[in-house]
A = this chain, B = another copy of it.
């Protein structure tokens, strides 16, 4: 599989938009948020991030690693031991999206009310 296929750089899109998609993706947000706390191993992350599949976790981690947000430390032992941690850049990214996530959470009640009002006029 080519790099461009693997990381979908084909879709014509400004670079920042692509980065934004990576850090705000379903699993990207959760992985970044989890790793703020401390480094995690692969299976640890699987358990920490509710119901993420192996495939999606691996994919998300690879994307974040390639973007320079996550550092992958594979210790040459048997059985394999791989630790994931945030880089400095990744920590910045995590704080940004986490800030947005917290704002969103604060505003959930407002949005819910708005939706009820909106749906009222439709049925």
The residues of A with any CB-CB pair to B shorter than 8 Å are 3, 15-17, 19-20, 23-24, 26, 29, 65-68, 89, 92-93, 96-97, 99-101, 103-105, 107-108, 110-115, 117-119, 122
Given contacts A96-B103, A100-B97, A100-B100, are A110 and B16 in contact (CB under 8 A)?
Answer: no
Of the candidates B16, B96, B99, B105, the one whose C-beta lies within 8 Å of that of A16 is: B105
Mostly helix, strand, loop or mixed at chain A's interface? helix
A86 to B104, CA, bound (A): 16
State the 7 A-B residue pairs at the shortest beta-carbon distance, nearest first: A68-B114, A24-B24, A66-B118, A16-B105, A16-B104, A67-B111, A19-B104
A29 touches B19 (CB 8 A): no
Interface pair B108/A16, CB less than 8 Å apart: yes
- A100 CB to closest chain B CB (Å) equals 5
Could you say which residues of chain B place their CB within 8 Å of the CB of A105?
Answer: 16
**Known interface pairs A96-B100, A96-B103, A107-B92; A114-B20 also in contact (CB < 8 Å):** no
A38 to chain B, nearest CB (A): 22
Q: A17 contacts which chain B residues (CB < 8 A)? A: 26, 29
